[in-house]
Amino acid sequence: MEDYKFLFKIVLVGNAGVGKTCLVRRFTQGLFPPGQGATIGVDFMIKTVEVEGEKIKLQIWDTAGQERFRSITQSYYRSAHALILVYDISCQPTFDCLPDWLREIQEYANSKVLKILVGNKTDRDDREIPTQIGEEFAKQHDMYFLETSAKEAENVERLFYEIAAELIGQARSKDGSSAAAAAAAHRQSEGSSIGLGSFSAKAAQSNCCGGGAAGSVGSNSSQAG
């Protein structure tokens, strides 16, 4: 049995084509899959990392962005410790749809879930959303903010390691005995929630509307999701 201190569930959401799958595969497999197909339903991958001297298991869920899969993906929000909301910095409509995604998060996710706004595809020359606009949106909605490029591996590891560090800090801020009990319970039932502390906004420095893996619900086809 693999030894780890905590297991954290991270869920990526956002429109189809923003690069969610590419971010996950870049982090977990160290590769950028050209012509990556759109996620059908939900896929997940697992990576164990060491952060602040602790071995942490990250279960990363990659959800489909298309409207027809919303009823499936919404069910994965509730047990998430962190939600990464992704848009494409070169496609304005993916940014315009962020309020719709936030309404889903508010309705289905734990109120204390860690939220991170990610502007992906910084390798593109045809930027439509300035960094400052993304930062301001994140601050208004109590979210962390970071821009990434899955293609160039820019800020991808930083994204997931900082999430892990923040979740560890929140877990440690709990009473020692209750945190230990929660961790033990979580290891026995990976779908349960540790019950993380309150979130405070922090902007990190640094498709259009409508929506190997460790496991999956569905499969892949068409342009990256």
Kindly state whether residue 210 falls inside one of the protein's structural domains. no
Residue 222 counted as domain residue: no
What is the model's pLDDT at position 118?
98
23 or 186: which carries more pLDDT confidence? 23
φ and ψ of 53, to 5 deg: 80, 5
Q: Angle 118-164-101 (CA atoms, 0-180°, nearest 5)? A: 35
pLDDT at 86: 97
Could you tell me if 82 and 113 are in contact, meaning their C-beta atoms sit under 8 angstroms apart?
A: yes
Residue 216 lies in a domain: no
Of the chain, the percentage scoring pLDDT greater than 70 comes to 67
Sequential DSSP letters for 67-116:
GGGHHHHGGGTTT-SEEEEEEETT-HHHHHTHHHHHHHHHHHS-TT-EEE
Higher pLDDT, 50 or 43: 50
Across the chain, what does the average pLDDT equal?
A: 77
CB 78 within 8 A of CB 8: no
Would the pLDDT of 45 be above 60?
yes
Best CA proximity match to 208, nearest among 87, 123, 40, 119: 87
CATH at residue 158? 3.40.50.300
- The number of angstroms, rounded, from the C-alpha of 59 to the middle of its chain's C-alpha atoms is 10
Distance CA 29, CA 104 (A): 29
Decide if 146 is inside a domain.
Answer: yes
Residue 92 has a pLDDT of 98
> What letter represents residue 125's amino acid?
D
Instruction: Tell me the per-residue pLDDT of 118-147, one tens digit each, with 9 for 90 and over.
Output: 999 999 999 999 999 999 999 999 999 999
Integer Cα distance of 62 and 185 in angstroms:
24
Residue 52 covered by a domain: yes
Higher confidence at residue 199 or residue 97? 97
Residue 215 domain-assigned?
Answer: no
* Domain around 47: 6-205
**Mean of pLDDT values over 193-217:** 37
pTM to 2 decimal places: 0.76
Query: Is 12 contained in some domain?
Result: yes
52 confidence band (pLDDT: 50, 70, 90): confident
pLDDT for 189: 43
pLDDT of residue 196: 32
- Would you say residue 210 has pLDDT above 60? no
Whether residue 54 lies inside any domain: the answer is yes
> Count of domains in the chain?
1
Greater confidence (126 vs 222) lies with 126
Return the axis-axis angle of helices 156-172 and 176-188, rounded to nearest 10°: 130
Q: pLDDT tens-digit profile of 153-179?
A: 999 999 999 999 999 999 888 745 444
Contacts of 187 (CB under 8 A, 6+ apart): 4, 7
The pLDDT score that the predictor gives to residue 147 is 98
CA 86 centroid distance within chain? 8
CB atoms within 10 A of CB 75: 12
